[in-house]
Structure 1
Amino acid sequence: MRRSSVAGDTGTRQDVRLRTRSVNRVAFWWTKSDKRWKAFEVGLLTLKEWTPDEILATVKNSLAVKLHPERYRQTLADLSLGLLFQKTSTRTRTSFEVGMTQMGGHAVYMDWGATNFALADLKDEAQVLSRYVDGIVARMKHNDDLLNLASGSEVPVINGCCDRYHPCQALGDLLTMYEVRGGLSDLHVVYTGILNNVCNSLIVACTKAGVRITIVTPEINPASKDDELMNAARATGLLEETLDLQDAVRDADFVYTDTWIDMEFFFDESYAEEKQRRIDAFSPYQINEELLESTDAYVMHCLPAHKGYEVTAGVMDSTQCIAVDQAENRMHAQKAVLLRLMECV
């Protein structure tokens, strides 16, 4: 039996599933300042909605899942996960599919263009999908579409990446730091490059987990702008902002970067002028061999990397780079997220 989210109420898996769906419904509130509806879902949309304790518990559970996979082989038996993707994917799709299989569950992959999500009302389709599955991973181009989908879903929605946040990546990053340094105390992370979705989620994860983070970001991706997130992070005293990369990395434990150009635009001819502008603007913020002469920090990258741009090939192929470990840890972190949201831990 699995315990219901209603205190003191227990029943069969099917009974609990029906009851928890009513508890996990999306709640709305009206924000008068911008005249927009905003959705809060008992899922993982931004990481802002998770408490520090929830984040730290998930990191520790991620490590337990990684070290003792045999204990979780049938934990998600009879449960299904819908994977709805607008964007291309290697790591996110594979890690969720394999993760569900390893824990006894089943994942259903849906390419956006091959479904009626591309034709019909998003909320209606989300509500129907949520009657078939126990959770939804949505990898969307736009955050507004993610919120729309979440507002129609009756099961937890996990953000598999959008233009504003990448929370699963950030949880995998925390697990990687925890593993490498034996904990998260007294750590310093430096992020260099463009302030984007990955940077946003990394800022939230670090400041909520008690990790000092310095961002060296001369520009922000317009779609990633989140003043509320930045103000909350600054209030913790753990976020530092500078444009002096050389100075920032001197006492860093980890130096992190991401692509300067969103992957869907990298080979887009219509984006060529903006691509060249960004290359010229961000070249001083590249992670290269010269920069690493002043630090023994580990190098992190969410992948895919454009070698020769945000990071050199030599650095990516060096023993200081732990990007592949990060990629592996995405799966373990996401397994812990699934266990939490499907009420199995």
Structure 2
Amino acid sequence: MNLITLKSLETENLKSIIDTSVRIKENPKKYADLLTGRKLYMLFEKTSTRTALSFGLGFNELGGMYFMQRWQDSNFTVGEIEDEVRYVARNVDLILARLKSHKDLENMAQASPVPVINGCCEKYHPTQALADCMTVKEIFQTYEKTIVYIGIWNNVFNSLAASFTRLGGRLIGVCPILNPATVSESEAALIVNHTENLEWYKDITPETLKSLVDEADVVYTDTWVDMEFINNPKYKSLKDDRMNQMGQYQVTSVLLKDSNAVVMHDMPIHSGYEIERNLVEKHINTILRQGENRRHVAKGIFTFLLGIEL
């Protein structure tokens, strides 16, 4: 069993992972030795703050040990993924990989004799979506709420569509741009047509957007440019184009004036682009709670993949 996308998990598995995460969060001392003797290998081809910290500390807090390596410092850069991962698996019980290519993750998971966790790729961010679902459940005591996601259709939105909707939540995507590495327009239409509780607005009037936000329980936004491109001068034109196209979709205090919604953002945040700085500060506790829950949901993922029952 691997965690590469959330589509492969049964709805009961999604609930179980989150319920386990909550139980451990509420009583950490009780489970401090749960992973004693277990080892986690973490491989990062892209930068990371929350995933690296959450999964490393989360494993430690359950009594396990972890080793973290950058892709460029490893022989994954020169060898075959299938060979390297089989060697790594001789030494550890779990592997977390943040790779640029979903195909590379699939190859790694197919070759590895131990479970592989997708720590974020261009198509999916499953561990983020699980933490988001957990955060909604903690705040509202139910999943049956409405998230209005305003931004690019990216890996996070893909994973929310495969999880939050199945837990009973309603997900409305205001996504005028599709990240081409994530999803094509035909794929997006197929996802919407085959997913209950999911709506997508590619074109929307300001009045309709305002009415959606007014009725939302959660307004969720994310970066408009992928992390590996945001500060890369080679992609300045892409960044400038995105900023120009998405400017009218910034989450602002004017947009939320008549809404009681909480604001969520998976970070890193680019104030003045996808969201106003004052809204970040107003909703910072919710945003940081999301980030903290990455560590707690990691523990639920560990126990699920290792077949440990509490």
1:102 is aligned to 2:61: yes
Quick one: which amino acid aligns to residue 293 of structure 2? N
- Distance change (3 Å), C-alpha of 1:95 and 1:277: same
For residues 290 and 49 of structure 1, the distance between their equivalents in structure 2, rounded to whole angstroms, comes to: 40
- Distance change (3 Å), C-alpha of 1:316 and 1:230: same
Higher RCO, 1 or 2 (CA under 8 Å, sep at least 6)?
2
- Distance change (3 Å), C-alpha of 1:232 and 1:263: closer
Deviations 1:305-339 (A, max 9, x none): 10000011100000476111000000101110001
Structure 1 segment 1-345 matched on structure 2, within 5 A: 42-185=1-144, 187-225=145-183, 231-242=190-201, 243=204, 244-319=208-283, 322-345=286-309
Contact 1:204 1:229 in 2 (8 A): no
Deviations 1:141-195 (A, max 9, x none): 111111111121110000000010000000000110000001213x000101100
Quick one: which amino acid aligns to residue 303 of structure 2? L
Quick one: which amino acid aligns to residue 180 of structure 2? P
**Percent identity of paired positions between Structure 1 and Structure 2:** 38
Instruction: Quote how far apart the aligned CAs of 1:234 are.
Output: 3.3
Task: Describe the SS at the equivalent of 1:138.
Answer: strand
Quick one: which amino acid aligns to residue 103 of structure 1? L
For residues 336 and 89 of structure 1, the distance between their equivalents in structure 2, rounded to whole angstroms, comes to: 20
For residues 99 and 237 of structure 2, the distance between their equivalents in structure 1, rounded to whole angstroms, comes to: 25
Instruction: Quote how far apart the aligned CAs of 1:113 are.
Output: 0.8
Contact 1:192 1:245 in 2 (8 A): no
For residues 232 and 289 of structure 1, the distance between their equivalents in structure 2, rounded to whole angstroms, comes to: 31
Quick one: which amino acid aligns to residue 286 of structure 1? Q
Question: Which residue does 1:21 correspond to in 2?
Answer: none
For residues 192 and 91 of structure 2, the distance between their equivalents in structure 1, rounded to whole angstroms, comes to: 38
Quick one: which amino acid aligns to residue 237 of structure 1? E
Considering only CA atoms, is the larger Rg found in Structure 1 or Structure 2?
1
Instruction: Quote how far apart the aligned CAs of 1:56 are.
Output: 1.0
Unaligned runs of 5+ in 2: none
Contact 2:161 2:195 in 1 (8 A): no
For residues 122 and 237 of structure 1, the distance between their equivalents in structure 2, rounded to whole angstroms, comes to: 37
- Runs of at least 4 residues off by over 4 Å: 226-230
Q: Is the deviation greater in 126-135 or in 218-227?
A: 218-227
Contact 2:192 2:200 in 1 (8 A): no
Quick one: which amino acid aligns to residue 171 of structure 2? I
For residues 129 and 137 of structure 2, the distance between their equivalents in structure 1, rounded to whole angstroms, comes to: 12
TM-score (norm 2): 0.94
Give the aligned CA root-mean-square deviation in angstroms.
1.4
